[in-house]
Structure 1
């Protein structure tokens, strides 16, 4: 909906088509509502003159029969659908008492609020002193439990349901009743209950409805009409509810006078007022009527238990008082909802944990840690058995911590392990082994190695190593990102300003891709190309994965060479790395000869500075020749790394970053 500044009015001129439609509609309505009295909002044009809904008729039931026979084929006007109007909030004390009668100026929102007032209500409640203190002490951004219910997106909860009216709803002045007749008489009318608590029906008279329950409304109307008419059916509904003025006082976020729907409850009014302020209580909201306290509602009943059975309906001139906040405590650790909670007198630590949703499945069920203000100078903190928590009363300022249990790393000597071994073994599979089981024993359980097993190329992956690699990899990416932000963008050989900006954008996009890469957790085993067995003293861990490949007789040459390819290793000949580079056509003009490196089959890396070009090639080696750049700024190196990743993958990426 479009909003306009307060005190202005939107001006527009309807088009010719709209003016034509409005003229036709006005003419139709004039023919339809012939000489309708002021109290009749809708009435059937063919209503017999003797109908109690017919205006100005003094005929009896018998005189209306002929008129009914002449119109028995006509279609009656349907009963209007129920529409509840939005309720405005009046904090000035001079607003409206009933729905639709506003005395405030300015543009209103869908909630019926003044635009500036709606902005004020949508602002979150500022944290109190205890919230700030708990955040500083615990290092956690703790909120008051229940504050999420008061967010702007949750304010729809303040509007009562509009589809169903409770059977016990008592009618009062300002409610609008819709009455429809079918059968021997047809017609419909909307009538508002006047200040005397009555509605007036022609030929019937006044009908008192004040205090009548909604479930008895139809019988009351039918009984009144039945004193003069027979052979009809009557249906009734409420099309508009009266407004109720209430006062929200005390420690509310926005105290004041509010006009709410007659179906509104105490909770609805509190939420309309923005809920309790930082110094207001969630555990007590008192309702006063005619100077007497009639209800004391605990909002935790609704927030934690979903119970609104004690949430009373409001009446005109009710006063809602929110007292000052009670004792506040913080609950942290392995609980279902870390937050700041308000506790009542006599509630124990166990009661507070229940309000916090209880411990999680990973929590230590045996104990809790209590930090108490009175213990700071002496004890500091104390450990309490969970079974005895109900014997300790909660005090103001307590911090209750539940320690995690299931997420603790256990010693390896007490860990059962599931090890996956596959490849060149006689019985590949998953094996469940006892703690401290050596790798050689797992290989024996798998039936031993096959004759084609290439032990030097074994791929040994471990979850704990992968997690460690992941942390180190992300730290390296963070350093690259910081260096990129601090790198000078002038004199780096990357072209003009537009090109430099494009390079920076590409580098940032590439770093984002790096963050999504996952290391494989591979361990480089201490084996030689001629070894025929895996290390015997290596203890396995849970979720270890071992892949033993067959012996390969190829070596790959990739990167800045004329013809990247894989070549068969010479028959026992000691051929060096540079020989295979020459077999690939040699390096191209743009090659970086000084940074050629070799990735061995066991995962180790040999760089040119360590004699890679003169080293003997081993089966399964991969030789990579990077591209030379004219400058060595950070942006140029990141550009080279992206080319490496495109051809080779994350292993070569790590080596190129080191170089």
Structure 2
């Protein structure tokens, strides 16, 4: 009862949702589903049908069997199953389109709408198994053919019908009669293997090739309705139309063994591609094609991989079985071959065949010997196989072969260095002398030191010895020196044997530095080499410091240098007042005392006229600058200004380290080991905060700082938030509330963590000043917080660990405070 209801549901479903060429839904024969087209169904329609059947307890395979009983084409059943499988994974499936390949030929004008083999309608997606990703050992030779991205074996369903193609049920045959008579037939081979031809009757074609079937059909036509075939006035073409599907099975060591429904044009290689090829334990050399319970072909994929031989790529037939056995012999090749990896060998194959499969030796390989490691019952054994044994040495499964690299040494090399025209390595020929080598290297340069050349020779025990030879008459003397392998000849230049002679210039020139000394160079020459004077140069007082070559070592006061002065105010023209320079002279061009560089500061932020301002005097203060930039915008925080200044604090590194260690309770070792931390307390750029209210109330006072060249003045936007940073459960931005202390905001940030160092909490105010927690007996007093303040909670410091965010901010703020303190002291002492 349930089966009848399911069939009824199935038939009604296809009646409602199927469109078949010119046949309307109402006219569909519900007992015959041969015209069903799955491509015309939407994803929702298929799932509605499947869910209904599944709720009644039926599987996809059972539905396919019932549809086959109602003559639904096998290809459509496969498509339906594939669509359901993909839709169950939640993926959308694009409706496959049919590709019609048309090949024009000379018979078109005669045959009218004649259909050739290349006019076949092919629905490629009907026979493709969804691609699967397989995890495989990529070092196995041949495995790359079956990678997901590789389409070497992708089935091609648009090829012409092979001459040996065997017809079977569900194949469609196109018959075109043209000439004296014209007619076209489209006939399907039925389950009994026959086609039914009008006025002739059934003709059995199953089991025949397409050529044999064509000959049989022509014979039937010629003896019945088309007598003109015998005289040649009527011609008949028989081609394959739609192709059938077949079922083949893959067993053994395949990545995905099982039964596959494929096109009848599918080849053995196509099927191997669909099943993922051999597994990591499968053979690439002995794949068996079984037909009728007999092995009809044994396939060696290496023949295709190495030579491109497709002789084994045969067409599959219904009920074929492909068996992939375990590999028998597999070896591993490492080292200097063109390809490394795991290679499978057949019985009787030698080391030479393995080298052929790997592409042979690499260019840098040692070719005379290959090391082989082999496992025996008692352990590993090593074999050294020489070149003359490659053809005969038989490998065993599990052997590991290693090809070494050739030695980096020369057997016939001599080298020459130094003052010759073509230094380098040269071939050592039999009986070669030093004269021969000097000749091939282009001879000696003019600056060669002829008094002594050095030959470094490697002895038989790899020790070195040195041979000296004079080259004043090198044509004669060098002809007597016989060279040996790896001799190195060094010929010095005269200039190599004395210090490099230089002169230097510093001060107010455009390119100060050290310059190579040359004969007769003068003071003016050197100034021109250095780009000439700058505008700040004092040309009247140019000094030349010259070393004294000979000194009195016993004198009470030893003079090491003396100074020459020159007046170049008249320019660098040619005249008699130029001074010749000597090696090691140092020229100093001082700054003119009357020259005053323009100094400026930069104003950024919420002011009326931001930008760069030139300082009008050496003592210009902040109050005067405020007047010049027109005051503050309404959105500015006009209570404080932040100044970034480059300043030398005057403190040594050890003094800064001592102050920072004491203020933050950080051990000196931690300061020394952390480069970033050292940079923080040694830096010369500091931040200063200025209270504008104090400046306005006491213009010219100590808070009205004098500006310096390069100062960067920042006026921030007003804000009613404060920030908590460091070892808190929830460091964040909070709304400012007047009169609250740091403790209040710490509680609002989730309070302290287990790593918090509560005694070191401090508040950094917008003006750059800071206040920390004060402790008296058992009581702690937390500082009051102002708008735009930042509350820092450092972490407990342990030896040899990185600083926390709070500690870094603490270091930065303390460094800024330290700089501010020093600047304030310097300003007071001015």
Provide the C-alpha distance between the structure 2 equivalents of 1:310 and 1:385, rounded to a whole number of angstroms: 36
Q: Within 5 Å, which residues of 2 pair with 1:127-526?
A: 127=137, 143-155=139-151, 157-160=153-156, 162-227=158-223, 228-229=225-226, 230=228, 231-374=233-376, 377=379, 380-405=381-406, 408-411=407-410, 414-415=412-413, 434=428, 442=438, 446=442, 448-449=444-445
8 Å CA contact retained: 1:574, 1:617: no
Provide the C-alpha distance between the structure 1 equivalents of 2:141 and 2:125, rounded to a whole number of angstroms: 28
8 Å CA contact retained: 1:92, 1:257: no
Q: Within 5 Å, which residues of 2 pair with 1:100-111?
A: 100-102=76-78, 103-104=80-81, 105-106=83-84, 107=86
User: SS of 1:304's equivalent?
Assistant: helix
User: SS of 2:376's equivalent?
Assistant: helix
Distance 1:409 1:156, change over 3 A: closer
Provide the C-alpha distance between the structure 2 equivalents of 1:570 and 1:363, rounded to a whole number of angstroms: 53
8 Å CA contact retained: 1:158, 1:268: yes
8 Å CA contact retained: 1:181, 1:235: yes
Pairing partner for 2:130 from 76, 98, 118 = 118
8 Å CA contact retained: 2:267, 2:316: yes
Task: Report the alpha carbon displacement of residue 324 of structure 1 after superposing the two structures with TM.
Answer: 2.2
Unpaired runs of at least 5, structure 1: 1-25, 31-37, 42-89, 128-141, 456-532, 590-614, 619-628, 637-659
Task: Report the alpha carbon displacement of residue 144 of structure 1 after superposing the two structures with TM.
Answer: 0.7
Task: Report the alpha carbon displacement of residue 223 of structure 1 after superposing the two structures with TM.
Answer: 2.5
Provide the C-alpha distance between the structure 1 equivalents of 2:530 and 2:426, rounded to a whole number of angstroms: 49
Provide the C-alpha distance between the structure 2 equivalents of 1:388 and 1:570, rounded to a whole number of angstroms: 69
8 Å CA contact retained: 1:577, 1:616: no
Task: Report the alpha carbon displacement of residue 294 of structure 1 after superposing the two structures with TM.
Answer: 2.7
Task: Please list the CA deviations of residues 95-129 of structure 1 after superposition, one character each: whole Å capped at 9, or x if unmatched.
Answer: 888434324143568774899x735x23332x4xx
Task: Report the alpha carbon displacement of residue 216 of structure 1 after superposing the two structures with TM.
Answer: 3.5
TM-score normalised to structure 1 length? 0.50
Aligned to 1:20: none
Provide the C-alpha distance between the structure 1 equivalents of 2:215 and 2:241, rounded to a whole number of angstroms: 18
Asked whether 1:585 is paired with 2:584, we answer no
Task: Report the alpha carbon displacement of residue 159 of structure 1 after superposing the two structures with TM.
Answer: 0.6
Provide the C-alpha distance between the structure 1 equivalents of 2:377 and 2:258, rounded to a whole number of angstroms: 42
Distance 1:570 1:354, change over 3 A: closer
Task: Report the alpha carbon displacement of residue 393 of structure 1 after superposing the two structures with TM.
Answer: 2.6
Distance 1:334 1:221, change over 3 A: same
Distance 1:264 1:556, change over 3 A: farther
Provide the C-alpha distance between the structure 2 equivalents of 1:199 and 1:290, rounded to a whole number of angstroms: 26
Provide the C-alpha distance between the structure 1 equivalents of 2:535 and 2:383, rounded to a whole number of angstroms: 70
Task: Report the alpha carbon displacement of residue 361 of structure 1 after superposing the two structures with TM.
Answer: 4.8
Provide the C-alpha distance between the structure 1 equivalents of 2:365 and 2:60, rounded to a whole number of angstroms: 47
User: SS of 2:75's equivalent?
Assistant: coil
Task: Report the alpha carbon displacement of residue 539 of structure 1 after superposing the two structures with TM.
Answer: 11
Task: Report the alpha carbon displacement of residue 260 of structure 1 after superposing the two structures with TM.
Answer: 1.6
Distance 1:114 1:541, change over 3 A: farther
- Tell me the matched-pair count: 413
Task: Report the alpha carbon displacement of residue 172 of structure 1 after superposing the two structures with TM.
Answer: 1.7
Provide the C-alpha distance between the structure 2 equivalents of 1:114 and 1:188, rounded to a whole number of angstroms: 28
Q: Within 5 Å, which residues of 2 pair with 1:18-37?
A: none
Aligned to 2:740: none
8 Å CA contact retained: 1:577, 1:617: no
User: SS of 2:235's equivalent?
Assistant: strand
Provide the C-alpha distance between the structure 2 equivalents of 1:204 and 1:382, rounded to a whole number of angstroms: 76
Aligned to 2:510: 562
Higher relative contact order (CA 8 A, sep 6+): 1
Provide the C-alpha distance between the structure 1 equivalents of 2:364 and 2:409, rounded to a whole number of angstroms: 14
Task: Please list the CA deviations of residues 179-234 of structure 1 after superposition, one character each: whole Å capped at 9, or x if unmatched.
Answer: 22322333433222112222223233333322222233443333222232223222
8 Å CA contact retained: 1:182, 1:234: yes
Provide the C-alpha distance between the structure 2 equivalents of 1:630 and 1:434, rounded to a whole number of angstroms: 66
Unpaired runs of at least 5, structure 2: 1-20, 25-31, 36-58, 87-92, 97-123, 450-473, 496-500, 538-580, 585-645, 649-674, 680-830
User: SS of 2:149's equivalent?
Assistant: helix
Distance 1:242 1:114, change over 3 A: closer
8 Å CA contact retained: 1:371, 1:381: yes
Task: Report the alpha carbon displacement of residue 143 of structure 1 after superposing the two structures with TM.
Answer: 0.5
Provide the C-alpha distance between the structure 2 equivalents of 1:415 and 1:568, rounded to a whole number of angstroms: 37
8 Å CA contact retained: 1:334, 1:404: yes
Task: Please list the CA deviations of residues 110-156 of structure 1 after superposition, one character each: whole Å capped at 9, or x if unmatched.
Answer: 774899x735x23332x4xxxxxxxxxxxxxx701111011112245
Provide the C-alpha distance between the structure 2 equivalents of 1:361 and 1:158, rounded to a whole number of angstroms: 35
Task: Please list the CA deviations of residues 573-597 of structure 1 after superposition, one character each: whole Å capped at 9, or x if unmatched.
Answer: 58699967865436999xxxxxxxx
Task: Report the alpha carbon displacement of residue 262 of structure 1 after superposing the two structures with TM.
Answer: 1.6
> What's the C-alpha RMSD, in Å, of the aligned pairs?
5.7
Provide the C-alpha distance between the structure 1 equivalents of 2:158 and 2:165, rounded to a whole number of angstroms: 13
8 Å CA contact retained: 1:438, 1:540: no
8 Å CA contact retained: 2:134, 2:255: no
Higher CA-based Rg: 2
Task: Report the alpha carbon displacement of residue 570 of structure 1 after superposing the two structures with TM.
Answer: 6.3
8 Å CA contact retained: 1:150, 1:275: yes
Provide the C-alpha distance between the structure 2 equivalents of 1:193 and 1:557, rounded to a whole number of angstroms: 103
Task: Report the alpha carbon displacement of residue 317 of structure 1 after superposing the two structures with TM.
Answer: 1.4
Task: Please list the CA deviations of residues 237-280 of structure 1 after superposition, one character each: whole Å capped at 9, or x if unmatched.
Answer: 21222111011112211111101222223332122100111222
